[in-house]
Chains A and B, each alone.
Chain A
Amino acid sequence: MANSNNWGEIYKSTWWGDKAWSANTLFIDSAPPGFGLNLLKASEDMDNTLDWLQKTGATVSAQNTNDPNGELTAERVDFIADQYSRIQQLVTLEASTTYTFSVHAKVPSSSQDFRLRVFGVSGATGSFTALSSDWTRFDFDFTTTTAGTYTLAIMNDADGASRSIQFWGAMLNEGADVGEYVKTDASVGGSSPSAEYEGFGDAFGGAAAYYSLRRYTEAEETNAIRVRRSSDDTEQDIGFDANGDLDTTALTTFVNEDVDTYTSDFSSGTDSFTEHSTTNAGNIDGVSDGTTSKDDVLRVTMTGGSISHQIRRANIFDGANTYDISFEYYIPSANTKLDQIVFRTNVGGDGDTAFSNVGTWSTGSISDFTPSGTQVRFNATDGGSFIFDADGDVFYLKNIVVTQTTADGAVTTWYDQTGNGNNATNSTESEQPLVVSGGTLVEENGKAAIDFDGVDDYLTSASLATTLSSIDFISAFTVFNGSSNNLTVWSVSDNTTTQVTRSMRNIIGQFDFQERDGSATRVTRGGSTTTQNLSSSLASIASGTNVYGNGTLADTDTTSLTSIALNSFNIGAYDRSTGLENFWDEPIQELIIFNSDQSSNRTGMETNINDHFDIYTP
């Protein structure tokens, strides 16, 4: 029957599951679809590893304490000393939709900080403090942009301290407001879902510094390196691709972007083009071939009689990279002999390119030119002869443009991806190692690498030196290329002395870790290095040092040492009172340093590293 009063009609009702029903009660609300649904599984079973993945060392104690209803269903999550320590769940979400992520939390005493995060949604982080007084429900909302699978995490606070927090009743509901809590069941049977990305830091936590060209953790979108391109010294951060490898497409696109490194300007002079049996004059106007007239032209007039005639300009090329060159030239037909100009550099091996249109303004161009020389030179010729006598003959030049199409990519910063801020940097151009050389990505065994020149390249971190000073245990894992006597891969030393250090080297083709406290020396050296290596150093002042090469014990030394105070950490060099030296001259791909004993994790870490870099056959 038609409704003539324009009142709303109830034509459908849905039970959201969050309201009590009775025969005499009808609830009417404006909840959107999805409200009242908990999109998380195992909301009270965070120990269920089919639904909740335990990452970066987090562990869950089931039924640890009473929940808000007085029942023994709440879990305790123990976070290790790593800001990425967490439990997480994969959820499929809609595009352009707002959701609210919530959990109940408390601690046995005092208070503890934690975070709720959604990976892949910018800014989707809530920071909270769990209290001991009672259960508190914490929530924050976020909005997706695209539909897909998202990872929601209950994770340690950004301070990275180890802590334990009790959790119960996790929930994800549609809408910007937290919904009334709805319990959901845990999955039964099947296998755990795979994380969207598994980095070293998702499996192992607590690193003091992580320098690598692969992504540390899916929990953070970090950058790997900051790169300066040699063509114009612009810098840019470079991150990772979807597979967690260095984003080499973004890297090479940035480094090899076309840059006009020289554009002539003859409006007020000769723009530093020098005369060699010529007379050069700039700012010449009205140079016409009868059809086209140009202003601000360079005029080159032959002088000196029977001799080679040339103009030069220095500091155009870098002697390594590739360039495109273009210019306009005009050779008057009134010349007595001069009928061709030749482009060349100051190095004969770079070759000659002749341009011989006479009587008309023409364009000359050279592409994909990779000269060893650094100068631009233009010679005049008479039928190809460089020596001729034609004083007064002229040619004209205008709009010389040199475009650099490849460049070196120098690493100014190797970011510490742990979040500890121990970035390794070098602000001096000539001392920065390369990740792109002459336009080509530096690679080792099919993956990007950072190449040190063995002369003066290094990267340094003062804060990591502080972290490693006067401690007992250093655990380090280094992926490098080096099969001969390539000296220092990395070192931490006291640069006010000559012999105080804990450093990782490659000496006489062997894995090497040296510790010197100023009087005693512990040299742990053995095995045989190959082209690409994994060196694992587990070094305790108190109990001795073990060095492993490609997963095999290379040497052990228990020489007695005292505490070693250190103030200088460097990748690719050793710093002491006489200055930096022993520079590394091969590629390095990954360096992970712990200020703790990782002996029990060594084989797992080596497997993780080798699985990614494919260094050796286990």
Chain B
Amino acid sequence: MSWYIGTREEVEQYNEKVNEAKAYKGSITSNWANPRQHPDGSKWAIAANNSIEPQEESSLIFTESLSDDWTPEEEL
């Protein structure tokens, strides 16, 4: 899964763009993805949709996968 990384506003705008483009037809699905916050709070990530690119003015950074620091090992 690939991702876009940026500010919370940017990832939310991207999610909204995907939602508008898709205009989901089913009765269950209504959202593309949920933004994920980095554990240190500095940035946000959202799953990338292969068919929809961010707005031209967006500074979202594309990455093929999230680095390990996004999912630190915590004891359960």
Contacts and interface: CB of A to CB of B under 8 A. Distances in A.
Contact of A228 (B1, B29, B49, B76): B29
A432 B74 CA distance: 24
A48 B28 CA distance: 47
B73 to A, nearest CB: 10
B22 interface: yes
Nearest to A412: B28
B-side interface mostly: loop
B51 A317 contact: yes
Contact of B1 (A410, A413, A428, A453): A453
B26 A431 contact: no
A524 to B, nearest CB: 14
Contact of A428 (B34, B71, B74, B76): B34
A528 interface: no
Nearest to A574: B76
A428 B27 CA distance: 12
B33 A431 contact: yes
Interface in A537-580: 574, 578
Interface in A367-423: 374, 410, 412-413
Nearest to A432: B29
Contacts of B71: 581
Contacts of B27: 235
B50 A319 contact: yes
Contacts of A578: 74
A428 B32 contact: yes
A412 B25 CA distance: 13
A429 interface: yes
A24 B51 CA distance: 89
B63 interface: no
Choose among B33, B50, B52 the residue with the greatest number of A CB atoms under 10 Å from its CB: B50
B30 interface: yes
A235 B1 contact: no
A456 interface: yes
A276 interface: no
B47 A233 contact: no
Interface in B17-38: 22, 24-34, 36
Nearest to A410: B29
B16 interface: no
B4 to A, nearest CB: 12
B30 A427 contact: yes
Contacts of B25: 232-235
A501 B76 CA distance: 9
Contact of A429 (B29, B36, B50, B76): B29
A442 interface: no
A515 to B, nearest CB: 12
Contacts of B31: 427-429
B53 A314 contact: yes
Contact of A413 (B28, B33, B36, B53): B28
Contacts of B74: 578, 581
Contact of A412 (B26, B34, B49, B51): B26
B26 A228 contact: yes
Nearest to B1: A455
Contacts of A25: none
A501 to B, nearest CB: 8
A430 B29 contact: no
Contacts of A22: none
Nearest to A423: B28
A394 to B, nearest CB: 28
Nearest to A457: B1
Nearest to A523: B76
Interface string B43-76: 0000101111100000000000000000100101
A532 interface: no
Contacts of B36: 456
Contacts of B1: 430, 453, 455-456
A233 B22 contact: yes
A226 B28 contact: yes
Contacts of A431: 33-34
A427 B28 contact: yes
A314 B53 CA distance: 8
A315 B26 CA distance: 21
A582 interface: yes
A320 B1 CA distance: 12
A271 to B, nearest CB: 15
A428 B29 contact: yes
Interface of A: 226, 228, 232-235, 314-320, 374, 410, 412-413, 425, 427-432, 453, 455-456, 499, 501, 514, 574, 578, 581-582
The 4 residue pairs across chains A and B that have the minimum distance between CB atoms: A235-B26, A412-B28, A430-B33, A430-B47
Given A235-B27, A430-B32, 10 more contacts: A228-B28, A317-B50, A320-B50, A412-B29, A425-B28, A428-B34, A429-B22, A429-B32, A455-B1, A578-B74
28 contacts: A228-B29, A232-B25, A233-B22, A235-B25, A235-B26, A235-B27, A235-B28, A316-B51, A318-B50, A318-B51, A410-B29, A412-B29, A413-B28, A427-B31, A428-B31, A428-B32, A429-B22, A429-B24, A429-B33, A430-B32, A430-B33, A430-B34, A431-B33, A431-B34, A432-B29, A453-B1, A455-B1, A582-B76
